[in-house]
Amino acid sequence: MPILEKNGLRVGKDFALAFSPEREDPGNPDFSTATIPKVVGGVDILSSELAAGFYQIAVEQVVPVSSTEVAEMSKLLENIFRSVNIALVNELKTLCLRMGIDVWEVIAAAGTKPFGYMTFYPGPGLGGHCIPIDPFYLTSKAREYDVPTRFIELAGEINTSALFCNTARHGGAV
């Protein structure tokens, strides 16, 4: 927007500007670009409406939000949710290994609960290109607002140590 406005153009008059985070699950046959709800936030109402109209051509459900910031924060929340839960199971994996408990059996048993639980699996890598980066983008931004993000940072530390510690000590096998 600053680049366009620097040249005399005005948002809402000469151009529209919106943000819509990518949401993909490559290789998952249950979801396609068309079936994954599309979050869209514009810098103004017109931009939001135009972007939503554009995406409605290609996707089944458009989820309009009030701003580009809300759209971006929703993506960060999705990725941080995944990072924190992967950290939890990576930490649990380490504990189960030491205790002689099969972590996969524990996860399978917990996964039978039909509410309030979502299954995550331990292992090297966090999935996708966003998960290892996005949480730390937000922690950096949070520092500008003097807000500590210890939980997010701890998840990053656990996932980093799990990538090296668990696979090195146990040959990658669980």
Query: CB-based burial of residue 159 (10 Å sphere; 0-12 exposed, 13-18 middle, 19+ buried)?
Result: buried
CATH architecture of the region 70-170: Orthogonal Bundle (1.10)
The residues assigned a catalytic role are: 130
Kindly provide the b/e burial profile for residues 124-154, where b requires at least 16 CB atoms within 10 angstroms of the residue's own CB.
eebbeebbbebbeebbeeeeeeeeebeebee
Whether the per-residue pLDDT at 133 is higher than 90: the answer is: no
**pTM score, two decimals?**
0.80
Tell me the domain boundaries of the chain: 2-66, 70-170
Region 4-20: what's the mean pLDDT?
Answer: 95
pLDDT of 19-50, one tens digit each? 999 998 888 899 999 999 999 999 999 999 99
Contact 136, 60 (CB under 8 A): no
